[in-house]
Structure 1
């Protein structure tokens, strides 16, 4: 056999050399931006891991954070680059398309890199506030530049400064490293198809994050009992994009955790109201029923609800918290005090829908912001309007925040008093007029009402919201500096005590029922899938007609407050509320219960037993004891079925407009 000549060897090497040249031509504009993206993600994750060292160590999750971090970085990389990378080989066939496309890839890589870097730089401040990576709350708050901007400038200016320095520096470094060193070179047609298919396959698989029948999602990383540790392997760009994806389900009521027949859902929810099946007579609105007041009155009482911003149990001395609420602690001896009241969620709008509308939580956006609940949606105001009441919403900020004005005015309220209605004498901070100014205006309004005209007033406070601004000289500061959450709570309590004392001296006191309740806790955090202790809030019903103060000790939910208030006001009538009237003790065979929503997780708590519902996972039975959520032994299929039924009913009621 003749040996190959030099000429033959040159021809043999030529196709290989050409393929290698084509490979370098194609991959360089793709690999450099991808490498920069991965470097940012891993530097950020390393910093977060060092910051949260103890929590990762406590859960023995170092390998989990590292390996799942690789997985979800590949997911984000695939999502961002699968389409541009697949098109790149075809754009590289000719000079007319390849030069502009290469420049476009460079710009696209810069925009993607800055977005990811911005989200990572935003993460520490978000974790400090919400104990999680950015989620749908991050997207919602982007619409409120004034309030959020003021908060950031007051409390998070170091993060703003770091972002202002690091993002331009990163952009300049990226632009320099990705500057083409050579003129654009094209590739051959026979190389375009295999490269396009290879890049499509690799990046599509990366975006999917799994080879099984289900793609990866955040629940794939939820393997510890600490929800923040579960989120560290993710990226903040991914968690926000996933939240936007989930928000498309809002109009359908959110995540469906488990299936259950419609008839069974309705039967179980009816049963848990404590009412007989005969009470429900309207098949079109299956939870509508007639409630008869346990204390009928010739002249029903006025109603005033003080919805306290972020007043968690940890700030309330009466609930074992810090000694920051002497007025509330004192007043607790004068009315019906809830020892174990739990918020339904972690946002003000979630508290509003629970307290004012008696509506249970879902994984979707609160009904305050959804389309189908802007008209003909049951609220206390719509119920009271038919009884001759006039309803007013008092808020120190701008009432369009979180769509509150639209929701209230479309569902029974007659007027809104907001920031523009306060004069120059009022103290106005980032979030609006101070609690004292709002309550003074409400008190003057109530005092001017005719005695024969019943009224409903909803006062929503905001002084206990970062950056914690309130008037000087009102309280002896609990700690330094002035603008801390502890001082803000103490001021909020001072304003509340002053308001109640004013009301006691006014004619309307003896004809008015007052509810003081938090919208949610201040911060929901902790090494638990759902930190139950951070949903514990104070609740107090008082007024001149409360002659026998007592403690309500069973577990209770914000959704129980509306039917309880109706009964105490002396009102009877039809409504679709699934909460319980707690003006009377529960029957011995019925345990108190609460429903809590934490991002994508819902909990149904009955006494100490808790069922956790998570997307793409089987319901989990837990036990809440000694302030901790722990795995429970055995099983309780009946409780699990109740939990699923209530989650499904909340979706159904919104989707089918049953809450009317």
Structure 2
């Protein structure tokens, strides 16, 4: 236990010194130190209370005492190494996700090729440190702590009360004298989410994330609300008249007529760009890395204030392709009840005669994408094994250029009388940032950086649209270019909203008039907007808004953002923030900063809580069908 405390405090002090400007900004040094002692006690109580309570019973006989001593020694070694491994992993995890390890830490373990390649190429120094320090720690433990060959024995009349006393110390594992045990919300006393996590320890945050994820596939319930109130709020926020919702079994299902009727159905191509946040896009005030996207933005419908729903690709997929709002649980792309008959753009388009294909340069089993798409309206998947032999293949699959070439040739081969839908998911802009030689100037040295990868991705996108513009399918195809999420979502806020800001552009031959949509928009608004622009009418359960409708553009607009266990609901510049085990708070987002709003906004909190609860029920009860 002393060795564990030493490791935890060496790690915490190192992390605190690294993040000292953020701690000083919110004046939280006392919080980090006090709550650090508390949560180290919580972890030690969880790990050691039961073994300690069993020890007096093992001390009744010499043989059991010696065997138990050897077991405790081995148990302590394994627990210490696990705890140290988690702390050694923490700096790299913070650098990527701006938080201590959470459920993503275990969710990625099933993808050894992609994740292993990224670790070896981008985090080799961290791996080397672990390979040196963990054996050294084990050696030191082995020399300083050895089982006693002649352990003390206890009579039964002493063993029983001592065991009861030790078991009663389980309260240390609760970290609280109240009726509720301590949890991460107990340390969430500042507006900086990372500072709130520094008092915790990474083995605890991982265990708590697994516990929360397994409690319910629908995730955290931020607040209980009557079902009628939830549905009334969600329906009202769609901007549609109440009488269009007529199906009690699927309470948001409604028929919607297109505002742009057409004689011929349009093809649809969605280019889902990996990790393309606003800070990489010149037109959005970011670095000058996307000259092609910046130029194309003047030719189509450009979303000025579009926000991702989450920080993972699967979260972007469920929002863009299925129009489904986020929860704190794993994305529906990976959950059991959404693997069949879950409503997607492909399932909406199929009755209209469309053939739908998913194009991906990597292996489509990653994040369960193949199963999800093939069970929900898609007809086929084109992936890494279908790329040409001379394609550039990196850790995450074929380069964007090779992927676009394969997709373009397939679009050219489509029969003119057969409408198609294609989802093209890029991956070159993903660590470890591998891409082929191409005729563009690198932004910086060395080569394998996120900025250079973004510039390559933009080059490949520009080349694809040059090909598409000269093709026979251009005049009858609507294109959407949108990011799945940002590259790194971090910042000294409960929800770093500026890191959810992403580009979105609709263009193609049918788009005759360039337009800028300036209202706040969410990825869940894209599906209803697209089908309206395609001239298609029909029933759907989407709660997103058709932003091709001028009436919807006049509204303040809203975006729903999931950041680990926290959800934000932004309407205009007002934000309601929902956290587990604590009261909702209202804030203002202005000039890239999220600050507390002392005025309060109960109506906005109600909208936020209603949408969070709705998403849970929509998944659990099969409403999104």
- TM-score of the aligned structures, taking structure 1 as reference length: 0.94
Q: d(CA) in 2 for partners of 1:316 and 1:266?
A: 37
Q: What is the CA-CA distance between 1:639 and the residue it aligns to?
A: 1.3
Q: What is the CA-CA distance between 1:176 and the residue it aligns to?
A: 1.3
Tell me, yes or no, if the aligned pair for 1:341 and 1:539 is still in contact at 8 Å. Answer: yes
Tell me, yes or no, if the aligned pair for 2:399 and 2:436 is still in contact at 8 Å. Answer: yes
What SS does structure 2 have at the residue aligned with 1:623? strand
Q: d(CA) in 1 for partners of 2:249 and 2:467?
A: 46
Q: d(CA) in 2 for partners of 1:576 and 1:366?
A: 18
Q: d(CA) in 2 for partners of 1:178 and 1:472?
A: 56
Structure 2 residue 390 is matched with structure 1 residue 422 = no
Structure 2 residue 345 is matched with structure 1 residue 380 = yes
Which residue is 2:57 aligned to?
90
Segments of 5+ residues of structure 2 without an aligned counterpart are: none
What SS does structure 2 have at the residue aligned with 1:367? coil
User: Of the two, which has the highest radius of gyration?
Assistant: 1
Tell me, yes or no, if the aligned pair for 2:480 and 2:506 is still in contact at 8 Å. Answer: yes
What SS does structure 1 have at the residue aligned with 2:610? helix
Structure 2 residue 149 is matched with structure 1 residue 186 = no
Moved more, 582-591 or 491-500: 582-591
Tell me, yes or no, if the aligned pair for 1:249 and 1:364 is still in contact at 8 Å. Answer: no
What SS does structure 1 have at the residue aligned with 2:110? coil
What SS does structure 2 have at the residue aligned with 1:339? strand
Structure 2 residue 330 is matched with structure 1 residue 354 = no
Segments of 5+ residues of structure 1 without an aligned counterpart are: 1-33
Which residue is 1:30 aligned to?
none
Q: d(CA) in 1 for partners of 2:555 and 2:316?
A: 25
Question: In the alignment, which of 499, 502, 517 is matched to residue 534 of structure 1?
Answer: 499
Deviation per CA, 1:607-629: give whole Å up to 9, x if none: 00000011111110100001100
Question: In the alignment, which of 185, 200, 224 is matched to residue 219 of structure 1?
Answer: 185
Q: d(CA) in 2 for partners of 1:586 and 1:613?
A: 29
Question: In the alignment, which of 281, 286, 289 is matched to residue 316 of structure 1?
Answer: 281
Deviation per CA, 1:299-346: give whole Å up to 9, x if none: 110000000000000000010000000000000000000000000000
Deviation per CA, 1:541-571: give whole Å up to 9, x if none: 0000101111000000000000000000110
Which residue is 1:506 aligned to?
471
What SS does structure 1 have at the residue aligned with 2:371? helix
Deviation per CA, 1:422-458: give whole Å up to 9, x if none: 1220000000000000011000000000000000000
Question: In the alignment, which of 100, 103, 126 is matched to residue 159 of structure 1?
Answer: 126
Tell me, yes or no, if the aligned pair for 1:435 and 1:495 is still in contact at 8 Å. Answer: yes
Deviation per CA, 1:514-566: give whole Å up to 9, x if none: 00000001111010000110100000000001011110000000000000000
What SS does structure 1 have at the residue aligned with 2:562? strand
Tell me, yes or no, if the aligned pair for 1:40 and 1:117 is still in contact at 8 Å. Answer: yes
Q: What is the CA-CA distance between 1:58 and the residue it aligns to?
A: 1.3
Cα distance, 1:354–1:587 mapped onto 2, change above 3 Å = closer
Structure 2 residue 482 is matched with structure 1 residue 517 = yes
Which residue is 1:270 aligned to?
235
Q: d(CA) in 1 for partners of 2:465 and 2:238?
A: 32
Q: d(CA) in 2 for partners of 1:549 and 1:588?
A: 15
Q: d(CA) in 2 for partners of 1:108 and 1:76?
A: 15
Deviation per CA, 1:622-649: give whole Å up to 9, x if none: 0000110011131222111111110010
Tell me, yes or no, if the aligned pair for 2:360 and 2:425 is still in contact at 8 Å. Answer: yes
Which residue is 2:371 aligned to?
406
Q: Aligned residue pairs: how many?
A: 625
Question: In the alignment, which of 18, 40, 48 is matched to residue 15 of structure 2?
Answer: 48
Which residue is 2:597 aligned to?
632
Q: d(CA) in 1 for partners of 2:127 and 2:76?
A: 23
Structure 2 residue 211 is matched with structure 1 residue 245 = yes
Q: d(CA) in 2 for partners of 1:249 and 1:205?
A: 22
Point out 4+ residue stretches in structure 1 off by more than 4 angstroms: none
Tell me, yes or no, if the aligned pair for 2:66 and 2:148 is still in contact at 8 Å. Answer: no
Q: d(CA) in 2 for partners of 1:636 and 1:222?
A: 21
Which residue is 1:652 aligned to?
617
Q: d(CA) in 1 for partners of 2:526 and 2:215?
A: 28
Aligned pairs for 1:260-659 within 5 A: 260-587=225-552, 590-659=555-624
Which residue is 1:26 aligned to?
none
Deviation per CA, 1:185-226: give whole Å up to 9, x if none: 322222212221221122x11100000111100111100111
Question: In the alignment, which of 104, 124, 131 is matched to residue 137 of structure 1?
Answer: 104
Q: d(CA) in 1 for partners of 2:252 and 2:341?
A: 16
Tell me, yes or no, if the aligned pair for 1:474 and 1:491 is still in contact at 8 Å. Answer: no
- TM-score of the aligned structures, taking structure 2 as reference length: 0.99
Q: d(CA) in 1 for partners of 2:412 and 2:116?
A: 37
Tell me, yes or no, if the aligned pair for 2:69 and 2:148 is still in contact at 8 Å. Answer: no
Q: RMSD in angstroms over aligned alpha carbons? A: 1.0
Q: d(CA) in 2 for partners of 1:217 and 1:369?
A: 27
Tell me, yes or no, if the aligned pair for 2:517 and 2:553 is still in contact at 8 Å. Answer: no
Which residue is 2:136 aligned to?
169
Tell me, yes or no, if the aligned pair for 1:560 and 1:582 is still in contact at 8 Å. Answer: yes
Cα distance, 1:105–1:446 mapped onto 2, change above 3 Å = same
Tell me, yes or no, if the aligned pair for 1:295 and 1:568 is still in contact at 8 Å. Answer: yes
Tell me, yes or no, if the aligned pair for 1:136 and 1:244 is still in contact at 8 Å. Answer: yes
Q: What is the CA-CA distance between 1:76 and the residue it aligns to?
A: 0.5
Q: d(CA) in 1 for partners of 2:57 and 2:85?
A: 32
